[in-house]
Structure 1
Amino acid sequence: MRRSPLFRRLLATTLPAALVIGSVSSTAIADPLMARNMSTYGMPGGIDTPTAEALPDGTLGATVSYSDYALRNNLVFQALPRLTTALRYSRVEGINDSARRGYIWDRSFDLRYQLLDENGWRPAVAVGLQDFMGTGVYSGEYVVATKNITPTIRATAGLGWGRLAGKLRPLDTDDEGGKPNLDDWFSGSPRPFGSVSWQVNDKLSLIAEYSNDEYDRESRGSDAPGSLNFAANYKVGQNYQVGLYTLGGETFGAQFTVALNPRETPFPSGLEKAPAPVRPRPAPAADPEGWSGQWSQDPTAQPAIQKALGDALSKEGQLLESMALSANRAEVRIRNTRYIQHAEAVGRTARLMTRALPPSVETFVITTSEDGVPTSSVTMRRSDVERLENTEAGRIAAASQLTDAVPYPDDLVAAEGLFPRFRWNLAPYLSTSLFDPDDPLRYEVGAKLSASYEVSPGLILSGTVRQRAFGTIEQEAPGGLSVDEYLAAGDDIDENGVPRVRSDGRMYSGRTSATIPELTLAWYARPTQDTYTRVTAGLLERAYAGVSAEALWKPVNSPLGLGVEINRVRKREFEDVFGLRDYEVTTGHISAYYEFTEGFTAQLDIGQYLAGDRGATVTLTREFANGWRIGAFATKTDMSEEDFGEGSFDKGVTLSIPVSWAVGTPSKDRVGGTVRSLSRDGGSRLDVNGRLYDKVRDSHSVKLYEGWGRFWR
């Protein structure tokens, strides 16, 4: 039975709407049915077929499965309790591309939403799109139900379209691909599939499934596997799973899975040193001078108190920049250099203030500073800190007030000897290059020396020097040219007239001599109460030098932020670290940021990109309480799909994991990066450090209060 175009478009347009509506619904629902096994496609499932299960919310996992027919590298993320997403990069045998290698490297993307949870006799039900945006090698859609028959036996049945119905769709070879193949969704006649899993014990599970996929393309016309597949999976520890499977008894495969949940750190209680306890004030009779406030008339009092408090804060990873002190009020301006959740820095500062300040000081004002610019102030009563120390953090939050910081009051006294301030760090680095059809994983290892010289609050000179040690990333020219030919041509424009702003990025790689990716002078300021500014000049990134200017409007208690950025840059030489090429461009964007609940932040950037194309980028990021950030973005500009090339438009996934999550000790350092299936010139932005929104949001209301549970840590 072939569905009408109207029916298919109805399904195609209502499914994304259902996902969005379901994600923001506040209706109380049961927990999703949790997965026991991962399929070869990297989603909760049987072997090649899906189930209606989900992973624990926030889980980030990776699966590698290998058989004679494909090598699949899958990245899965449980974006919402019921929404599962997967990004896949597969070597598919039996298909030729222009290189005639007998295989292709294919990129695909999946979405699944669990519509109903298991309840009584009702099974869990999910609907999904497999490979809905790409060449269509694995393209298919499905509706599936899963039910626990016994506590250890779970059965699944579903209807599949496309590949899941055993019907291969035409490969997307006529255009550039990389966009939703909407006309194919739920097209053709569906066919049933199913699986049964048996959880033998806590470690071992066995799976049998009925699949319609006969691997016609991959088998190259030979006898294809049958419809019955079998697998055995074994769990190793809490985060790993290994498995063996057979497809129709004709070929065998192996699989490895790792799953990390940001809510489950290897060190649940952390390894940081416990904070100093609150020191209750003595009775007035025991310290009449301290309670009277007469000490404030002594000109030596504040310098001594400020030094003692600054030394104590330094041990807690806080930099005391300045302080204002009177008989009954104290304001400290701190720079948090240690804690991912800024509320922990505020809480530890409040404890230390009870130990350093005379008893007459009742009002505490803790102002956060980022690169010398104040971003917010938390005001609380000392008596509340003393009274609520051993209660839940929500009570001190209710008793405190978060306000915009007064930019530059006259009564602040700067800490002595703090500026100018020099810092440096020498560490190894690892650079990777992914998704190249000739070599899907390349790497480079070396040493990186970073240094900064803070002349005064807000004025910072910084730079980085890298020295390669070894690796497989080499200098390469685009367009099939040799490096010497590309250097001799001296042309930064491709055959379609598109400036090569990123497609020749490998010309900056593989050098044996030292490189300087960044060398800048930046100035941060706050001209008005709700406005922040940045001006950065120098070698902005490894490919561009110039000037970047930015302004951000972001009230402290508003989830909304608005920004504008403009850059005038020139392309850097490939060999000479201080040389410049002829290509020059003005690029800039107007940006809007909005913070939702549950750690979600949406960002919209509209403007002109490095190649001169104009359009917009939409980004959605989720951040967890322990600092994990996972996001996705898509950019569409006025550059044609033909000029853009394979992929049609820019898109990718971002990942940022705090080091503290892995090691258990507090640190603001992070590891991660951006995963793109392709690096193209369209939709490319300047990669300049120090953009304002990420600097100010940690101490503003949404982010601060989401981490407020760590106030008393």
Structure 2
Amino acid sequence: MMRRSQLIRRLLATTLPAALVVGSATSTAVADPMLARNMSSFGMPGGIDTPTAETLPDGTLGGTLSYSDFARRANVTFQAMPGLTTVLRYSRIEGIPDGDDDYISDRSFDLQYQIVDEQGWRPAVAVGLRDFLGTGVYSGEYIVATKNITPTIRASAGLGWGTLAGKNRVIDTQDTGGKPNVDDWFSGGAKPFGSISWQVNDKLSLVAEYSNDNYLASYSDGRTYRQGDTEPDSNINLAAYYRLGRAYEVGVYTIGGETFGAQFSVALNPREAPYPSGLEKAPAPVRPRPSPAADPEGWSGSWSQDPTAQPAIQKALGDALADEGQILESMALSSRRAEVRIRNQRYVNQSEAIGRTARLMTRALPPSVETFVITSTADGIPTSSVTLSRSDVERLENTEAGRIAAASTISDPELRPVGLVRSEDIYPRFRWAIKPYLDLGVFSAADGLTHEVGAEARATYEISPGLELTGALRQRVFGDVFQRGPGIPGQNREYYTPEEYLADPSLETTPEGVPRVRSDTRMYTGNHDPVIPELTLAWYTKPTENVYTRVTAGLLERAYGGVSAEVLWKPAASPFGFGAEINRVRKRDFDQLFSFRDYEVTMGHVSAYYEFAQGFTAQVDVGKYLAGDKGATVSLTREFANGWQIGAYATKTDLSDEEFGEGSFDKGISLSIPLAWATGQPSRERVQTTLRSLSRDGGAQLNVNGRLYDRVRDSQSVKLYQGWGRFWR
């Protein structure tokens, strides 16, 4: 039996996560990595139950649904870095009783890092952790190597610990889960596993594997359960996978020759949009200036003395920009320099809006104007200025976007530039829309996948620059989400009725004394009458060149109303940002109209932001949360040039594990996909969701719209230059 000392296990526990991050951030890829042929039933690149050392294309977001008599597994997979694969899993595991049910619902998280890729005689090698944050039903670690034997045959072999060695870890019945089970890592003896895959053709692949998993679950009170109805008769598993198009795959498999299963997988790569070039209309071409001899008056600048010149030019440019989905909010014009302040309403990448604006400026401005300053705004507040030479715009139109980027400068806008004239009929401005909504609930232990469908009317009235009134009205049409009180302590999947919860104010605090700030969220669902999810008055200002402020008052979200105030320091050319937010809020009544409940709290945080290369943004929030607990949230988000955003966060506060409940601390994954990626049509609309392992009261934040950082950074240096490839689009 292979053994590891306590010191070595702790060393592996502390150095492995660091190696994953540091190695991914510093390594330079010299070739495409060995890409997975199919996904395992655990959501990782692999065979059937065993992993391989393959990876997915960088940035891939995938999902796998796997069903057998042993379990139903729903996996969300993200290739976070070229070598780092992550999986968030929700499983219904058969055969393990939980109260009156003969199954348990389990959430788990996996990490795999490809240490080296295949090169010559050397195989690809990866190390991984399975179920290292859950209760430990699937807990195991492994080192695996994968090698192409022929162009169509690929073999993998590895050493596994825990379930991968057929030695299931003992689950502590008193453990609330959610923390790394560090002491178990790479302990208990290892056993070999392996797989062979045969790529029959472009669509069909066949897999055979040797697995040690005995599908048992053992608990610290001495109970041991067999998952599913039968014990695997052998260690050999077989599967066939069939690819449908570029993104989908179906498969059938057998575990030990007795148990059969089916699987469906989808993998979306943000770099492979359905419409890679987009369906937006082509921009107007740059118009070269006439020679000085052909237009001596235009070149002399004498036109600037005519008081009718700027209004006429501003009107013509404003109309042209409106056709491009931009609003020309204001303009300052002289004989040699022009500054335009624009609001981008159409394009995901601000660089595309700036590039199209520069083209139109060459067509609208007299030839003496050599310097273009294009200032982006958010909520009427200027956020950054890009300065370009008109000569460079004319000279570099048909070259790569990097050359115009090198010829431009980005800076903080002037607060009160001389000669700035606001365009007519910009304020006040009223916008409204009616559209359907879909609310999905995923990874719910009690309910599985839930949905609610209805219609939402949303309107915004912009009173003046930075001052806007926003409201929304929702009407549910159908769904399987209904009003329900929180769970009854000690009774599995039993809940207070809405009437019981409303009749007993003491239930609004957990037995551990924590206010129910989120664990009664289902009381806000299932309303058949119209509800008001948001009704706010927001005021945005910019007191200095680098400082932004926001004050929002009203019904801030469906569960809380009050006042939210924020300040942000964010220079346009800096990757750093610092902010602070304070909120005084009161809990709304469950009908989501204008009445309130008794609970109120003052909460807030200070924040630090840093934008790394390759689209990564780190954020740290330290402060007080909705339940009055104090702690910190760390989040890391990756954004791709086409607007995809995928992130992960973790929050730890001064609540004990028992006070927090199952999961021990708050954690989850956020996902935001621009609608333009799927439709090809230019739009700033997004589909967003947050996947949480559990919804608890500890570490709960206020969900107020319009926070400053996301609005300001869209047009600032790191994010702006990340999408600069679309400047000439």
Q: What TM-score do the two structures reach when normalised by structure 1? A: 0.99
2:322 is aligned to 314
Q: How far off is 1:29 after superposition?
A: 4.3
Which runs of 5 or more residues in structure 1 are unaligned? none
Superposition map of 1:4-403 within 5 A: 4-27=5-28, 29-97=30-98, 99-216=99-216, 217-219=225-227, 222-403=230-411
- Amino acid paired to 2:318: G
Tell whether 2:676 aligns with 1:668.
no
**Aligned CA distance change for structure 1 residues 576 and 553 (closer, same or farther; 3 Å):** closer
1:447 is aligned to 455
Q: How far off is 1:576 after superposition?
A: 5.7
Q: How far off is 1:122 after superposition?
A: 1.0
Q: How far off is 1:218 after superposition?
A: 3.9
Q: How far off is 1:221 after superposition?
A: 7.5
Q: What TM-score do the two structures reach when normalised by structure 2? A: 0.97
Contact in 2 for aligned 1:58/1:77 (Cα 8 Å) = yes
1:711 is aligned to 727
Which runs of 5 or more residues in structure 2 are unaligned? 217-224, 489-494
Choose which of 637, 641, 660 in structure 1 pairs with 2:657: 641
Aligned Cα root-mean-square deviation (Å): 1.1
- Amino acid paired to 1:132: F
The whole-number CA distance in structure 2 between the counterparts of 1:377 and 1:333 is: 9
The whole-number CA distance in structure 2 between the counterparts of 1:255 and 1:460 is: 49
The whole-number CA distance in structure 1 between the counterparts of 2:238 and 2:666 is: 39
Choose which of 549, 552, 559 in structure 2 pairs with 1:533: 549
Q: Percent identity, please.
A: 71
Q: How far off is 1:377 after superposition?
A: 0.5
2:538 is aligned to 522
- Amino acid paired to 1:150: T
- Amino acid paired to 2:345: T
- Answer with 428-437 or 189-198: which moved more: 428-437
- Amino acid paired to 1:313: L
Q: How far off is 1:77 after superposition?
A: 0.5
1:498 is aligned to 514
Contact in 2 for aligned 1:225/1:251 (Cα 8 Å) = no
Tell whether 2:431 aligns with 1:423.
yes
Q: How far off is 1:26 after superposition?
A: 4.2
The whole-number CA distance in structure 2 between the counterparts of 1:436 and 1:173 is: 21
The whole-number CA distance in structure 1 between the counterparts of 2:230 and 2:327 is: 69
| 1:658-696 deviations in Å (ceiling 9; x for gaps) | 000000011110002100011100000000000000001
The whole-number CA distance in structure 2 between the counterparts of 1:696 and 1:439 is: 38
- Amino acid paired to 2:304: S
Contact in 1 for aligned 2:55/2:83 (Cα 8 Å) = yes
Q: How far off is 1:76 after superposition?
A: 0.5
1:487 is aligned to 502
The whole-number CA distance in structure 2 between the counterparts of 1:372 and 1:449 is: 23
The whole-number CA distance in structure 2 between the counterparts of 1:490 and 1:100 is: 29
| 1:614-661 deviations in Å (ceiling 9; x for gaps) | 000000000000000000000000011101111100000000000000
Q: How far off is 1:33 after superposition?
A: 1.2
The whole-number CA distance in structure 2 between the counterparts of 1:249 and 1:273 is: 57
1:593 is aligned to 609
Superposition map of 1:683-702 within 5 A: 683-702=699-718
Q: How far off is 1:28 after superposition?
A: 5.2
SS in 2 for 1:366: strand
**Aligned CA distance change for structure 1 residues 419 and 223 (closer, same or farther; 3 Å):** closer
Instruction: Report how many aligned residue pairs link the two structures.
Output: 712
The whole-number CA distance in structure 1 between the counterparts of 2:430 and 2:289 is: 38
- Amino acid paired to 1:271: L
The whole-number CA distance in structure 1 between the counterparts of 2:700 and 2:214 is: 40
Contact in 2 for aligned 1:214/1:225 (Cα 8 Å) = no
Contact in 2 for aligned 1:128/1:143 (Cα 8 Å) = yes
The whole-number CA distance in structure 1 between the counterparts of 2:392 and 2:339 is: 16
SS in 1 for 2:518: coil
Q: How far off is 1:12 after superposition?
A: 1.6
The whole-number CA distance in structure 2 between the counterparts of 1:630 and 1:221 is: 38
Contact in 1 for aligned 2:95/2:229 (Cα 8 Å) = no
The whole-number CA distance in structure 2 between the counterparts of 1:576 and 1:626 is: 36
- Answer with 242-251 or 10-19: which moved more: 10-19
The whole-number CA distance in structure 2 between the counterparts of 1:551 and 1:172 is: 45
Contact in 1 for aligned 2:96/2:227 (Cα 8 Å) = no
Q: How far off is 1:442 after superposition?
A: 1.1
Contact in 1 for aligned 2:524/2:592 (Cα 8 Å) = no
Contact in 2 for aligned 1:323/1:331 (Cα 8 Å) = yes
Tell whether 2:588 aligns with 1:580.
no
| 1:468-490 deviations in Å (ceiling 9; x for gaps) | 00000000011332111111223
Q: How far off is 1:407 after superposition?
A: 1.7
- Amino acid paired to 2:544: T
Contact in 2 for aligned 1:477/1:483 (Cα 8 Å) = yes
SS in 2 for 1:396: helix
| 1:279-306 deviations in Å (ceiling 9; x for gaps) | 1111112111111111111111111110
1:3 is aligned to 4
- Amino acid paired to 1:378: V
Tell whether 2:633 aligns with 1:617.
yes
The whole-number CA distance in structure 2 between the counterparts of 1:177 and 1:602 is: 26
Contact in 2 for aligned 1:372/1:458 (Cα 8 Å) = yes
Contact in 1 for aligned 2:475/2:529 (Cα 8 Å) = yes
The whole-number CA distance in structure 2 between the counterparts of 1:225 and 1:3 is: 31
SS in 2 for 1:291: helix
The whole-number CA distance in structure 2 between the counterparts of 1:23 and 1:457 is: 43
The whole-number CA distance in structure 2 between the counterparts of 1:693 and 1:278 is: 33
